[in-house]
Amino acid sequence: MLFFQRNIKQKLILVSCVGATLFLASCAAHKPTAGRSPNKGVSVTRAPEPELEAPDVPTSAEVADGVRIPATEVETVISTARTFLGTPYRYGGTTRSGMDCSGLLLNSFKAVNVSLPRSSAAQSKIGKEIKKMNDLEPGDLVFFATGKSKVTVTHVGLVTDVKSKDNIKFIHSSSSLGVVETNLYAEYYIKRFRGARRVIKAD
């Protein structure tokens, strides 16, 4: 009789130990570990993202006398401007859904990391003045007074091609036509032409 009682006690102790082990294992399975989500078991600890260094962009003051860039980059400015041909005019716009004249130049010069002022009037005060029409080159800025004042600059364009003495093409965002290329000597524009500046110089 004593033998059977001792055997039963040993079995009860064994069952209790097994039950306790299973219970602890079960709790451990549901206890969230450090750095893991208690719901999904997915780590929420993230490695720090690498810092991105911003490109060197000249300020308005730095382009006051013109920025020297490779000749190929002058073409980059012009080709970038031409990608916007057909874009509708929108006052204050800087995107393909609509842009104004100075917004077109902002986008074009951004392609070579040159930052321009926002307005055509401010753009007319930077770079080197081109005093003679015969000295105009692709990449130069041309300015116009298209408002009520005959001296206040209200419009700007970018020279794209110098074909001859009286055939100088410039690209601009016209309030009526959007982004187009026009001959500087077209009657409307030559009458309102107020000067030119060289913001970039080809090496």
- 168 within 8 A of 161, measured Cβ to Cβ: yes
Active site includes 17? no
In angstroms, rounded to a whole number, what is the distance separating the alpha carbons of residues 26 and 150? 86
Active site includes 172? yes
156: CB partners within 8 A, 6+ apart: 101, 102, 105, 120, 123, 124, 141, 142, 143, 144, 172
| Count of alpha carbons within 13 angstroms of residue 17, beta-carbon side | 6
Q: Which of 17, 27, 30, 101 is catalytic?
A: 101
Q: Which of 17, 27, 30, 155 is catalytic?
A: 155
Q: Which of 17, 27, 30, 172 is catalytic?
A: 172
Instruction: Return the DSSP state at 89.
Output: B
Active site includes 30? no
Q: What positions carry a catalytic annotation?
A: 101, 155, 172
